[in-house]
A and B are shown apart, each in its own frame.
Chain A
């Protein structure tokens, strides 16, 4: 069964690493995904601090580190404004290649900027944009 989880976390000082948007399919075990996302944040932070200049970075976090038992792969992506996107996918989904993940992150980033452009959106709010939801849904469907 394919499981995917997508999460957007800003680097806000108020609520650091509070997910602005988190969504997974299937919807059970969502807590597990949340947990995984949180644990992977450490790795993300570490990588951010490691890199000096190239802030826009697409990295891969192999789950070998985090969850040796289950084979999940956790991917991370950070924007220039330190907004982190985390994606968790099933390792059994071998069809997913690095390029695909990259493209998915790019799409996420695009949609995220669309949301940001909306003057009615206050940064720090949960993302409730339908367009964003639709995009994420289509992406997840495509993966699964």
Chain B
């Protein structure tokens, strides 16, 4: 079977016909009465029919598969147009009119009669006897109503089949069941549920016979308004013997939820046209739902409490599990109560389920409660057109579906505005119902990258709070957090987290818990968070513009773990202002004399070793904060015990100012690190005393780590960094880059960049120096060994 290309109209038409013929919905049409009838109605000579069947392969297969059926129909059209029947002709003949099926008059009449009678049986045939739709030509019906087809065929052929075309396989059998009673399948023409000219309800046709059983089910009420027919909860569960509804299986035609008054509904639908989806609620249905709602809750804007809803829906005799699922789907705001929209959605789902539709995993678009719940509820019954929950009543139906996703995108935002969502501020529960728009909406799940810069506060709890709020902001659920976020972003300049690494843990759903709980967040962890973040910001020079630096005398510092830094900065701020203008660390000149690295190397060595000198440590600690202060080097120098150091130590103060930045910076760093080490390893100090060179091993490690973190720190503490103050002295001889004291962003950024460059240079220097240090140590060790070896000789 070669490929068959069908135009849209043809496609629709054929699928209608197919579903019509496909009584058992097995996707194969056995050559049965309907098919024969159909072909007969094509008014083609028998041999042509036979030929067609042969050509399409049905005779070979013994049945009409969908493709065979389509081919057959196309061949019918071909034949009817007078073209020779050939297999090739199905594709080559362009602009083929749709095949016409003419029914005999008798059939026609009988159908009419049947449909009318069936309708009259219907309660209140919804608008009395179904008036023939005005523009008959528009709606398509199952192949059954050949008569209808014929007059319409021509019209249909021209029009792209009405958008409202009944589905083939997913017939809204519900209307049948809604028909309360045993309407009767009018004789053999069960295919035609409605008036001959009536709509092209293939589903009806198919299900009519089946539906009678279904009808019996809804026996409960009698005569009441059509709406009541739909569902009578008080009765035995319906037999959903009807064709399974596959809402998703609709091709280009979509199921239109039909009401028994299919014609009127059809008319309406036809007029409104639109891309229907199987879950749309028709007006009548909606009216019915609204009425039911009123019986429980007279106020249309009110809520139905869960218990009442439970009782109500339990009457439908669906299994509790399914009702539970329906509830989950329809209670959009998860408040345990149903608004009118939610109720209608729930009701609709119940009806669908009873009719054999499978429950969707997620709430279908058309059932979503309108975004503007309260205002629109009044308009519910008034809209003549398709009601579908478009959320924007003014929206033209055809554009409804495409716009739905966008509307639902705004749902999260609107959620906040709707008062019904007040209780919701803490939850991101909409994530589940909105997941069908995954492609459109960033999942409400806050696992998405957090883009907001996160200022870190000093206090651990506050830091945590901000983390929470950050995440909350990203989940865009709560209003209160966003202003807070905005506020907090202005605060500390730290961690302008440009990369989204910041909170590797940052996938929390911020919710009310965060504000109410007392987080025993450990400062260390947060500190590490902070440092990690900082590391990122430090290593990526191309970060987006950092927020403006915080005011200088800042009581809190982002480095939660380094309380000392506060003092450091606080003190150095003053100090710096004393004399040295904070210079961005320009590339420090390399050490001038080769000797300079020597002493500098030793100095750090001694500095490390000196840490162990408890006597000096107290001195160092207070001096520690003097980040920029070279007096600490003097201290070191002064406390240098090693003889070889003395001379050099004295040189230090002189050397320092002239030395290229590496030394002071490294020593400074080490000093700083030492300071930190002191903070942390006060206990190990005595231990260190005993070890001579060994302290070097551990200290370098923390030193290096601290160094690294300090490296990162540097850009952050740029403004008031006093490490730059250190360099300032060094830089005194260098062309100092004028730094605007005012918060000139560009200057700051430039200075940051320079600082970073300096950092890298210094780091390199540092590593080189460390290497030298190691070498020197090795030398020393070897010398000592030699000494030992020689010692016995000395005694001799």
Contact = CB atoms under 8 A, between A and B. Distances in A.
A135 B320 contact: no
Contacts of B426: 110
Contacts of A107: 509
Given A106-B511, A117-B334, A97 B525 contact: yes
Interface centre among B306, B505, B511, B525, by most chain A C-beta atoms within 10 angstroms, is B505
A32 interface: no
Given A56-B517, A130-B325, A130-B361, A98 B505 contact: yes
Contact of B331 (A99, A118, A128, A130): A118
Contacts of B467: 99
Contacts of B517: 56, 58
A99 B509 CA distance: 11
A120 B447 contact: no
A99 B324 contact: no
B283 interface: no
B507 A120 contact: no
Interface in A46-105: 54, 56, 58, 95, 97-100, 102-103
B13 interface: no
Nearest to A56: B517
A35 interface: no
B328 interface: yes
Interface string B319-358: 0110111011001001110000000000000000000000
Contact of A120 (B323, B335, B503, B525): B323
Nearest to B322: A120
Given A56-B513, A120-B310, A100 B507 contact: yes
A56 B426 CA distance: 16
B505 A119 contact: no
B524 to A, nearest CB: 11
B366 to A, nearest CB: 20
A114 B509 contact: no
A117 B336 contact: yes
B448 to A, nearest CB: 12
Contact of A131 (B307, B328, B509, B513): B328
A125 B334 CA distance: 19
A119 B325 contact: no
A121 B306 CA distance: 11
Given A56-B513, A117-B335, A130 B328 contact: yes
Contact of B505 (A99, A109, A117): A99
Nearest to A129: B328
A86 B310 CA distance: 31
A13 interface: no
Contacts of A54: 518
B320 A120 contact: yes
Given A97-B504, A119-B306, A119-B336, A103 B324 contact: no
Nearest to A120: B324
A135 B511 CA distance: 16
A90 to B, nearest CB: 17
B287 interface: no
B184 interface: no
Given A119-B307, A130-B325, A130-B328, A100 B513 contact: no
A131 B213 CA distance: 35
Contacts of B328: 114, 118, 129-131
Contact of B324 (A56, A58, A106, A118): A118
B334 A99 contact: no
Contacts of B361: 130
Contacts of B432: 131, 134-135
Interface residues of A, number: 29
A120 B327 contact: yes
Contacts of B518: 54
Given A119-B327, A120-B320, A103 B428 contact: no
A134 B307 CA distance: 26
Contacts of B505: 97-100, 103
Nearest to A138: B445
Contacts of B334: 114, 117
B309 interface: yes
Most buried by A among B307, B331, B335, B513: B513
A133 B516 CA distance: 27
B327 A110 contact: no
A28 B547 CA distance: 50
Nearest to A110: B427
B335 A106 contact: no
Contacts of B464: 99
B306 A129 contact: no
Contacts of B513: 56, 106, 109
B508 interface: yes
B429 interface: yes
Nearest to A58: B517
A122 B516 CA distance: 29
B436 to A, nearest CB: 12
Q: Which of A130, A134, A135 has the most CB of B within 10 A?
A: A130
A129 B507 contact: no
Contacts of A114: 328, 334, 429
A121 B324 contact: yes
Contacts of A109: 513
Interface in B132-190: none
B508 A142 contact: no
Contacts of B511: 106, 110
B509 A110 contact: yes
A99 B508 contact: yes
A99 B467 CA distance: 10
Contacts of A134: 432
B21 to A, nearest CB: 37
Given A110-B429, A118-B331, A98 B525 contact: yes
Nearest to B305: A119
A59 to B, nearest CB: 9
A135 B435 CA distance: 11
Interface string B505-532: 1111101010011110110010000000
A89 to B, nearest CB: 14
Contacts of A128: 321, 324
A138 to B, nearest CB: 7
Interface string B434-470: 0000000000010100000000000000001001000
Contacts of A58: 517
A117 B306 contact: yes
A130 B358 CA distance: 14
Nearest to B471: A103
Contact of B503 (A56, A99, A117): A99
10 contacts: A95-B504, A97-B525, A103-B507, A106-B513, A114-B334, A119-B307, A119-B310, A120-B313, A129-B324, A142-B447
Given A103-B471, A130-B328, 12 more contacts: A99-B464, A100-B504, A100-B508, A103-B508, A103-B509, A107-B509, A117-B331, A118-B306, A118-B327, A119-B336, A120-B320, A131-B432
Interface of A: 54, 56, 58, 95, 97-100, 102-103, 106-107, 109-111, 114, 117-121, 128-131, 134-135, 138, 142
Closest 3 CB pairs of A and B: A103-B508, A99-B505, A119-B306
